[in-house]
Amino acid sequence: MKVTMLLADAAQAIGGKLYILGGGWSVTGPHPTAAAIALKIEVPWDEANRPHALALELVNADGRPVLVPSGPDAEPRPVEIRGEFEVGRPTGLTPGTALDAVLAINLGPLPALALGRYVWRLSINGASHDEWQVGFTVRAAPAGRAV
């Protein structure tokens, strides 16, 4: 599968197309803000008409899962998104044609992340590739300003 990933302020997937607002950034912060991950997945012809497991995991610069509190007294948990997608073959499509799956994942503000580099890493059916990731950096507040 071929995957295109983009960070955005917001995104929608409607009628097989992605509508992206404020897309293509890679620096954020220092304050928590809402964000979205826009995905275009080209599914090979022979992998259509069956479900595919999808997982997105937020990791830090060392490749370790980012942990956030899950409740007042609960242990921190990794930031991850899991789901399934499936594409069907439309009638009359030329055999061998790749099929597009588009997904827009809108995220509320995450708890404040420390300064540094982070990566959203995608896996499909348990497999991942170096190009199936999109990274961003959390910047410091300007000097002399409170966060």
pLDDT value for 120: 98
Q: Which residues contact 79 (CB under 8 A, 6 or more apart)?
A: 57, 58, 65, 66, 67, 68, 110
Q: Which residues contact 42 (CB under 8 A, 6 or more apart)?
A: 1, 2, 3, 98, 99, 100
pLDDT value for 73: 82
All domains in the chain, ordered by first residue: 2-138 (2.60.40)
Query: Above 90 in pLDDT, residue 113?
Result: no
The token duo for 96 is 């061998």
Read off the pLDDT of each residue in 61-80 and give the average, rounded to a whole number.
90
Rounded to whole angstroms, how far apart are CA atoms 26 and 47? 32
Read off the pLDDT of each residue in 86-112 and give the average, rounded to a whole number.
93
